């Protein structure tokens, strides 16, 4: 995880992101969405007892089948609700530019893109 974007995210969210085991890999268009979700998760982990804080952390953040995936080893109902909302919103946000998007097919690949970014991807083929 040598990307400065991800390193800054971990520095800003030490309770929840300092023990990510499977990596952080998501497209730039979701920076705002992921950043806000990390803020919520960090606040909620901070409210837990010190013993529980050591047990609750993010395992992986990634994109899969055009949507955000945010995996934790343990969670709380509040955190789960925030994750579900963010994952759901990711299917409406272009993963390239952050504008409104929808699921699009690019060959055998599925991505959430706005019309403009989708066309750019098709033009590359």
**For residue range 46-94, what is the model confidence (pLDDT) as tens digits?**
999 999 998 999 999 999 999 999 999 999 999 999 999 999 999 999 9
- Total domains, the chain: 1
Residue 43 lies in a domain: yes
Is residue 17 very low, low, confident or very high in pLDDT (cuts 50, 70, 90)? very high
What is the span of the domain harbouring residue 10?
A: 4-92
Residue 78 lies in a domain: yes
Residue 118 lies in a domain: no
Q: Report pTM.
A: 0.93
Is residue 125 very low, low, confident or very high in pLDDT (cuts 50, 70, 90)? confident
Residue 113 lies in a domain: no
Cα 65 versus chain centre, distance: 13
With left for phi above 0 and alpha for psi between -120 and 50, is residue 23 left, alpha or beta? Answer: left
Residue 8 lies in a domain: yes
């Amino acid at each position: 995880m040598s990307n400065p974007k991800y390193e800054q995210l971990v520095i800003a969210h030490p309770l929840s992101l300092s023990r990510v085991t499977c990596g952080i890999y998501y497209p730039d268009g979701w920076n705002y969405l992921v950043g806000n979700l990390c803020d919520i998760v960090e606040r909620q982990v901070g409210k837990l007892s010190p013993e529980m804080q050591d047990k609750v952390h993010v395992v992986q953040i990634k994109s899969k089948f055009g949507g955000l995936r945010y995996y934790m080893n343990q969670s709380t109902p509040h955190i789960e609700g925030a994750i579900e909302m963010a994952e759901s919103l990711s299917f409406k946000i272009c993963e390239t530019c952050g504008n409104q998007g929808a699921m699009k097919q690019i060959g055998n690949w599925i991505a959430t893109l706005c019309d403009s970014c989708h066309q750019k991807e098709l033009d590359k083929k």
